[in-house]
Structure formats: C-alpha cells, structure tokens
Structure 1
Amino acid sequence: MTAPFPDHPQLSGNYAPLLMEADAPDLVVRGAIPPELDGTLFRIGPNPQYPPRDRQHHWFAGDGMVHAFRIRDGRVGWSNRWVRTPKFELERAAGEALFGTFGNPLTSADEARGKDSGLANTNIVWHGGRLLALEEAHPPFEMNPADLASKGYFDFDGGLTGGRMTAHPKIDPATGEMLFFGYSVGGYFTDRLSYHVVDAGGNVTQAAAFDAPYAAMIHDFIVTEGHVVFPVLPLTGSLERAMAGRPPFAWEPDKPGWLGVLKRGQHPEMTHWIEIPSCYVFHPMNAFEREGRIVADVMKYEAAPLFPHADGTPGDPAKATARLVRWTIDPARDEVKEQVLDGRPGEFPRFDERRAGLGYRHGWFAAVEQRRKGDRGNWTEIVHADLESDRRTVFSDGEAHHVSEPVFVPRAPDAAEGDGWLLFNVYRAEQNRSDLVILNALDVDGEPVAVAEIPCRVPHGFHGNWAPGV
C-alpha cells in the first residue's frame, strides 16, 4: 500500500505527481488543428511514484514521466507513461522509495546502495530514429515512440564516454549532428567533463574527456557554427558534503564562474577558460558568431535557485530569478560583455531550432509579471521576443493558469524563421486539469489557433520536443 505523500511545496498543487498512466486517443478540441501539424509533442518531467525517503525533497529528484501529444489529421491524442528505469522497477517491486535524493547513499535503503539511481526525467529528444529520455547524471534511456514502452539505457553502441550525457544536446541544423557533454564523468562530483559529437544516424564521431576548473552542476551549454562553450558556474558538487549530511549540490557565490570556449573539431583539452563573476544559467536560448565573437542569449540568475549554500542555509530568493541577457564573448581578449535583453522574470527559452547556432530574430520563453518576481516555476505568460525590432508580445490566460515551456514547430521545413506554431500546456488550477494550447508563433497575443482539453492535469515538468511524422 502506497503511503501518503508529505505536505511539501514541490509535492502539492500541480507539482504533485500524477499517480496513473492513461490513454486518451481523441481529445476535445476547441478551434481547428492546422493541417500541417503532423507529429508528436513529447514532454517529460519529474513524477515520483512513491513518497521520498528524505525530509528535504527536491523537485529535480522525481521519477521521469513522459507525456505524448499525437497530432494528425486535425485530431489530438494524449498518453502518459513512467520511464521504467532500473530505479523505478526496483522501487515498484518494493512498494516504496528506496533511494535517497539524487541517489544519496547516506539516505538510501540497504537494498538500493550500489544500484543504478537514474531518473530519466529532464528532457526527451528524437534523433537518429531513437526517442531518448535524458537526465544529466546517467546515460540516455530509450523509449518506444509508438506506445512509450521503456526499452532501456542506450550508450551509442559503446561510444558513450563516462556514462553520462547532458539533458540538453544540440542538433546542428546543417549536418544533423548531435553535440553533447557530460559532467562528473570520473565519478560522483569530480571535475572531469566529456564531449561527444554524434552524426545524423546516431554514430559517435568524436568522444573525449577533459578537466573543468571545479566540480559543478552544468545543466546546459552553448553551441555556434564554429564553437562550443561550457559554462562552469558555482553550483558545486561535493561527495564529502553529501557523506557528511550536508547538501551534495550547493551554491558557493565566492567562487568565480568560468566559460570554457572550444573550437568545434578540436580536442576538448584545448578548451580556453575565461573567468566571469559568479552567476548561474540553467538554459541558453541560442548563440551565434559575429566579428570573431560569440554572442549567447541566456537566462541568467544572480544566484542558483532551488539550492542552498554549502552550510545548508537557504539562498536569497531575491537573487534566484532569471532574466534574458546577452553575453558577447571575446576569446581573444578574455572578455565577456553583458546586455539585458528583457528584465521580466523568465525561464525555458526556446527559438526556431532551424537557426540553432546561427544568427536569429525570434525567441520565446515562459515568464511571470514583474510584480510576481520569484514565483519559482508557476509561469503565467508566454513571451515572444522579436530581437530585431526589440518588440515583445505576451500570451496570458490569467494568474491562475500556469504555462509550460513553449515548443516551436515550423509550418514547413522551408518556412521563414518563426512561421509556425507554439505548443505548450496550460494548467487550469480552478478546474485542476490541463490543456494543450496551440498559438501562432508570431501572434502570441492573438486568440489560440486551437486548444485540446486534457481530462486530467499534466504536472509541472521540464522540457519537450516535437518529432515530425512520428
């Protein structure tokens, strides 16, 4: 018998897990689904199947659950499945949580120590004919796109160095290559990184390991046509802290940040490190090159949110809010200049990924009104940023309606940049259920093109991606 979940802000409201798997093959739709939309939106997020063992639960530590929205011939179907990792299966057999937060051996049950603690809960990508659920401390976990059945870990036929892959690989729109990195590849909380390039068919063409300035949680990275940039920022990892009962990941603002700049095609040991002031970035929007410099648009925090200081004291919530800034990185001068592009609190930046690593005009992100700064995840707006005209337009359904990360889908492969749709979920708190909303991507403050009504709620999650024709 499953025990009740504790009263915890990251286990209540729309953060509470959905304790069922279901199929709804034909959702009620208001409006008209564009006939060009033919494929599946896959979304993923943390969804613990059992109450946590640790008193200090963390939202990032829940089992992965995938939601699939299949759109074809003007109809929308929805289904959801847990990712059945070895951790999930071991705990399902036991009928309770066995692993401490992030697999902490100090708080794990005896039967879980030394076992795989993978969650596969952060992002889900379609590449090389495979659907991969990603979480940065483990290898990718393959799912069947047709029925969301779990297939198991995938290591690129033995080509994965260090056993870890970021949840945020980048796909080159010109070559179809997938670029990714891993951190702590030498063991828990080491400063060793890996870097991989995988061709369009899923074959590893480059794999190497190298050292970072210190051990840190590196959630995402920056890629242009000619360079990659590894942001090592002071959300540090420490096995010694974890074994002493202190935070395994903690914010250490006295440490500087570092940007590791590497030319694509070079061995990562040639990475050039540029020191920057302490800050944190979970997600860049996009990056490109201009006049020998790297221009990167990122969601920057003064201090990492959701994590305490190394002594366990909480961080300053006033600093734990991101805003969209532009870094202009000049490797020749070891210089990084910063410009604020949008001052409102936001996260989950996306763009037309046919422009990945290239100059671009349009971006979108989830946000809250300025007066609600520090809402910590209950995003209420979708913002369209026209970076050429400096114009902003906003979708909002009101403060009680919380939006997810927007995903852009082009109208056609050769459509102009931004010509297409945004797909995202809206949680309607007063009805305790969710919708799939489809907007014209260049008219986000206009009426939705279509709204598909989901018969239950989709919990707050992380990321999603569109798989055309799947």
Structure 2
Amino acid sequence: MSNRRRFLSLAALGLASTSALADSLTYQSFHAALECNARLLAYADHTGDVAGEATVLGHLPKDLNGVFYRNGPGRFELGGERYHHWFDGDGFAQRWQIRDGKVSHIGRFVATQKFIEESKAGKFLYPAFGTYIDRKGVKNNDAINVANTNLLPLDGRVYALWEGGSATELDPDTLATRGIKTWRKDLKAMPFSAHPKMDPDGGLWNFGSAPGANQLIIYRLNAQGEVTRTAVLPVPQLNMVHDFVVSGRHLIFLVSPYDLGSEPDTSFADRLHWAGDRRPLRAVVISKETLALRQVFELPARSVFHLGNAYEDGACTRLDAVLHEGDALRKVGLPMRGAARMVADNPASTVQITLDYASGVAREARLFGVSEFPRVMPQVVSARHRKLLVLGASGRELILDSVNLIDTDSGKVDGYAFGTGWQVEEHVLVPRRGARSETDGYVVGVAQDTRRAQSVLTVFDAHNIKAGPLALARLPYRAPVCFHGNFQA
C-alpha cells in the first residue's frame, strides 16, 4: 500500500495507536437491565447463523417477489466482555426471500478478518468505533472492518458495507463471505461509505471519509461496478460523515460540529467532542460535473446520521435530513450498557433544507417530529420527489415504533403505529413493475416483537399505510436488529 493510501486508510478512523479493553462491567450492567426490560432485547448479543421459514399472517401481494437484503451488528460480546457502542458489533447479514406468497430467512455473520481472528482467540483483539482495545496491532482499516451497516446488490453481486473500510462481497444466495472487494488496485483498503446512491444509469455514487486527514474521497461507479471517476477533496474540521445525498447536479454532505481529539487510549467515538457552541452544521456542496467544491452553507448546530433525497429547484437545491438537537452520537450507545432511554435529550426532526446558491442562505422547513431512516422510491433518487418515508417515535426517546409516509408538499402524513412492545427497523419503498407514482408499490421492512422475541417482515400498501400491514411474516426466532438494506426484485 502506498504511504498516501495507508495514511487515508487509517485516518478514516482517526487511528494512531489504541489500548484498553471492552469491559466486563458493561456486560454485567446490560444483562442485569435486560432481565427487567424486554426492549433491550434488540441490543442483545447474537451467536450463530440462522435459517427458517416465516409464518405469514395476512396476504402477501402476488406481484411482490424478490429479496430484501439487510445488515447490522450481531456480536457484541466475547470472552465475558461487551462492547460500549451499538455501532461496534460484528456484521450479521440477512436475506429475506419473498416468493409465491411465502417468506424464508437466512442470517449469517460476515466472516471478516476481524471476526475470524477474534472467534479463534475467544476475545476481542481490535479497536472498535466506540470501544478502545489494543490487543493486536492494526495494519490498515480492513483489519478492523466489521462489515455491519448495509447490504448493497450491484450487478448480480452483493456487498456488505461499513463506512470505515472496503466493501466485503457475499454470495447473493447463501450470504457466505467471498472476501474483500477492491474496486481498483490504487483504492485498496480505502474507506467506502455504507450509503451509496444509485444513479439513473444504473451506476452509483459513493464517498469515503478520512477525518484524521480532513479529506473526502469521492467515487463514481458504473452499472458493472467499475470505478470511472474519483477525487479527494479537503474539508476542514471533518469528522464522522455517515450519509450524503445526490441531486441532478450536486453531491451534498452535512458535517456536524464535532472536534476530533488526539487523546491516547481512547476510542474514535470518545475522541469526537461536540463543538456546537462554537460551530454550525455545515452543508458542503460538490459539483458532480467537476467533483470540486461549489459552496458551503451554515445551519444551526445539530448532529445528523441520515439524509433522504435531493433535487434541483431552479437556482436552489432541496434535500431531506433527520437532524438531532445537540450531540446524539454518544446517546445511541447508551442501551449497550443497559440504559432504557436512548436519546431523550436529543429529539430528532425530519426537515427539508433549501440551499439558495445566490444568497448563500440555507432555509429549513419541518416535515415530521421524532424520526429516523428517511427513504424515497428508488426511481426518484436525485430527482423531484413528493413522498418521503420515515420511521417515527411516539415519544421523545428514539424508540422507533411507527411507519410514516410524508407528503412533502402538503405536510400530510399517512402512518401506522405498531404499539407497545415493538421496535421498528428501517423500511423501504418498493415500486410495482411500471409504477406511475411514488405510492404505486409497497413499503417493506422488519419489526422486532420484543415480547415474543421474534423478528417480523412487514408489508404495507404504499397508498394506504394507515390501514396497517397487508402481511406480517413472523420468524420463529429473533434475528439481530439491522441498520440498512435494499430490496431487489
């Protein structure tokens, strides 16, 4: 690996040297709390691969056939120790097959280098995002790649993604791990985000973030998965950037106000210090044509994980984002230690942001209250959209329990709440063949029934979500909560 590539690889995680352990006290406090609070089951450790047939309640639409690929952290504990943060767990890929009115499920751990070595050792060896460990040295970021954030189908292949390192290829049918994907030799071991955006031509845009170097790496891949364009752009005071949006002419990144410290013996997450009292949230706009910085906008300081879609509107660009009041990053890790409340002090709102290039002003319009995981129909990505799917929470805590389709023009919401005992995962919009509107299709997702310890595939009519699920497909077991995924017809 060239010196420059190695630097950007390790800078993606802010790594210098690291040393301390995932601790047994976290393990003990979580399990004590789990006995009293079934909601924490979503953050429980998982062991072993699973496969099974779901029991379908209701009726699956005859024209809904395909595979719903999902990915998230599954292993949080090893050798009596427990990770401190939800983002740390080893990737557990899932495949929900919908065919002829039946649903089957496969779940397998991604056999990364880290997972294999630590399984053999019977203990954690490498540093994680929010847990400081240094039992074994790190040569590059793929040595600690947990492949735990998204599953991307592309050109007949499937990739497990983690923003700090390379994609990991899996078998599309069995989810068996095939190995690290190097898109191009000079890009080996470079960070490759877990939130690529598809282009109308079948290719995709993606990025890598190197906070320790204050640089963004831009990728453009064609429909065959070949890299056609790359760029490295300096972004001052860069920190964790998890997602972005693509409009007709721009790539847009929201950079929250964190400082990256240099404290020794500390995890990457613990070295991110909230600076919202001194700096704004920045919208960094990059031209798709030149891959050069066009403009930077300032908004009130908030933290952000996920964005929805973006489109051009005359001399402006409009985009959707879920913004959290203050520093939400550390609060997401609280349930790992047994805390019942997650981000009660950092309520999140879905907003539409308008970037006015002539005035240099960014304006906001609130669309929805406490929420997360915005998605649009795949055929409108980077184009004008009028429907935005989000999960909602009935209280200030970010315990997601409802599915909601927002009309971004009128503000009206078509939603369904699952009720007490449910935790809802990201849902996606799936168009019917030849769909003519953004509601001509289905909403497909997964929800956890914590009272029965079962994972459930859910299917709604996108035109009438408030009527409730058309079908629930219950597994006879609980599979780990996933972060993101994609439906492939």
Relative to the length of structure 1, the TM-score reads 0.89
1:21 aligns with 2:49: yes
Q: Deviations over 1:344-394 (max 9, x none)?
A: 20001111121001111111111111xx202x3x21111111223321122
Please report how far the alpha carbon of residue 415 of structure 1 lies from its aligned counterpart in structure 2 after TM superposition.
Answer: 3.8
| SS of equivalent residue, structure 2 residue 187 | coil
Does the aligned pair in 2 maintain the 1:5–1:51 contact within 8 Å? Answer: no
| Structure 1 range deviating more: 352-361 or 393-402 | 393-402
* AA at the equivalent of 2:427: P
Please name the residue that 1:335 is paired with.
361
Please name the residue that 2:15 is paired with.
none
Does the aligned pair in 2 maintain the 1:124–1:465 contact within 8 Å? Answer: yes
Does the aligned pair in 2 maintain the 1:347–1:366 contact within 8 Å? Answer: yes
Change (3 A) 1:199 1:277: same
Please name the residue that 2:316 is paired with.
293
Does the aligned pair in 2 maintain the 1:129–1:201 contact within 8 Å? Answer: no
Please report how far the alpha carbon of residue 145 of structure 1 lies from its aligned counterpart in structure 2 after TM superposition.
Answer: 0.7
Please name the residue that 1:213 is paired with.
236
Of 151, 157, 160, which residue of structure 1 is paired with 2:187? 160
Please name the residue that 2:466 is paired with.
445
Please report how far the alpha carbon of residue 124 of structure 1 lies from its aligned counterpart in structure 2 after TM superposition.
Answer: 1.2
1:91 aligns with 2:118: yes
Does the aligned pair in 1 maintain the 2:371–2:390 contact within 8 Å? Answer: yes
Once residues 300 and 207 of structure 1 are traced to their aligned partners in structure 2, the CA distance between those partners, rounded to angstroms, is 29
Alignment of 1:160-179 (within 5 A): 160=187, 163-172=190-199, 174-179=200-205
Greater fraction of residues in helix:
2
Q: Deviations over 1:181-201 (max 9, x none)?
A: 1111xxx62211100111111
Please name the residue that 1:325 is paired with.
351
| SS of equivalent residue, structure 2 residue 213 | coil
Runs of 4+ in 1 over 6 A off after TM superposition: 52-56
Please name the residue that 2:287 is paired with.
263
Please report how far the alpha carbon of residue 102 of structure 1 lies from its aligned counterpart in structure 2 after TM superposition.
Answer: 2.4
| SS of equivalent residue, structure 2 residue 477 | coil
Does the aligned pair in 1 maintain the 2:76–2:88 contact within 8 Å? Answer: no
Please report how far the alpha carbon of residue 317 of structure 1 lies from its aligned counterpart in structure 2 after TM superposition.
Answer: 4.8
Of 386, 393, 406, which residue of structure 2 is paired with 1:368? 393
Relative to the length of structure 2, the TM-score reads 0.85
| SS of equivalent residue, structure 1 residue 101 | coil
Please name the residue that 2:215 is paired with.
192
Once residues 328 and 79 of structure 2 are traced to their aligned partners in structure 1, the CA distance between those partners, rounded to angstroms, is 21
Query: Larger relative CO (CA 8 A, sep 6+): 1 or 2?
Result: 2
Once residues 356 and 280 of structure 1 are traced to their aligned partners in structure 2, the CA distance between those partners, rounded to angstroms, is 23
Once residues 79 and 273 of structure 2 are traced to their aligned partners in structure 1, the CA distance between those partners, rounded to angstroms, is 20
Once residues 186 and 102 of structure 2 are traced to their aligned partners in structure 1, the CA distance between those partners, rounded to angstroms, is 39
Once residues 487 and 267 of structure 2 are traced to their aligned partners in structure 1, the CA distance between those partners, rounded to angstroms, is 41
Does the aligned pair in 2 maintain the 1:159–1:207 contact within 8 Å? Answer: no
* AA at the equivalent of 2:117: L
* AA at the equivalent of 1:211: P
1:412 aligns with 2:427: no
Change (3 A) 1:428 1:244: closer
Please report the RMSD computed on the Cα atoms of aligned residues, expressed in angstroms. Answer: 2.6
Structure 2, unmatched stretches of 5+, are 1-23, 35-39, 332-341
- Quote the sequence identity (%): 28
Alignment of 1:459-470 (within 5 A): 459-468=480-489
* AA at the equivalent of 1:152: G
Of 64, 74, 77, which residue of structure 2 is paired with 1:37? 64
1:143 aligns with 2:170: yes
| Structure 1 range deviating more: 64-73 or 443-452 | 443-452
